[in-house]
Amino acid sequence: EIAAAGGEALAVKGDVGVEADVVAMFEAVDRAYGRLDALVNNAGVVDVKARVDEMSVARLERMMRINVIGPMLCAREAVKRMSSSHGGRGGAIVNISSAASAHGSPGEYVDYAASKGAIDTFTLGLAREVATEGVRVNAVRPGIIGTEIHASGGQPDRVERMKDMLPMKRAGTSDEVAHAVLYLLSDDASYTTGAILNVSGGR
C-alpha cells in the first residue's frame, strides 16, 4: 500500500521487547537510509478481559515487556541517532498511548492501562531530557478506535458496545489517529514537546 501510494518502505521482522531485535531494526534503517528523522512507537498488545486478581505474572511481564520496555528501547536507539549530543540533526518521537491510561480500564485490563500510563510518564520525562538536543517527544492517546485490537483482546463487539457512551457517539478511525501523529511529527508542531494529545472523541 505504501509503495502504491508513491512511498518507500522497509519491513524488518522483530520483537520490540527484545533488545537485540530493536538494535537490528535500527541498524537496518542505518544501512538503508543513513539517517533517522522520526520514530512512532506504535507496537503494543492487550490481553483477554480479566480482573487483576486473575492475572498471571507471565501476562504482566509480556504486557510490560512489549508495551513499556519496547518503546523505551526504540526511543533509546532513536535518541542515539537524532540527538545533537550524538552528532544527530534532531527529530521527533511520537509514542502511542491510550485513553485507558486516564480511565484505568477496571474490570477489563488494568495491566494494559498501567502500561500506557508508563508511556505517558516516559513521554514527559524524555521530552524534557532531550529538549535542548533537537528532539521533540510527544504522545497520542487514542480512545475507542475501530481496529482489530479489540478482537485480539477477546472483545470483537467492544466498539459497538461502547460507542454510545462516547460524547461523539462513534468510534474513531485509524486515519484520525494517524493525522494526529503526522501533526506532531511535522514542523507545524515545532514548539510542541511533552504533549499528550487525546484522540478519543471527548472521552
DSSP characters over the chain? -TTTTT---------TTSHHHHHHHHHHHHHHHS---EEEE----------GGG--HHHHHHHHIIIIIHHHHHHHHHHHHH-GGGT---EEEEEE--THHHH--TTT-HHHHHHHHHHHHHHHHHHHHTGGGTEEEEEEEE-SB-STHHHHTT-TTHHHHHGGGSTTSS-B-HHHHHHHHHHHHSGGGTT--S-EEEESTT-
CB 94 within 8 A of CB 181: yes
CB 183 within 8 A of CB 189: yes
Query: Of 33, 109, 112, 191, which is the active-site residue?
Result: 112
* 109 flagged as catalytic: no
As annotated, the active-site residues are 112
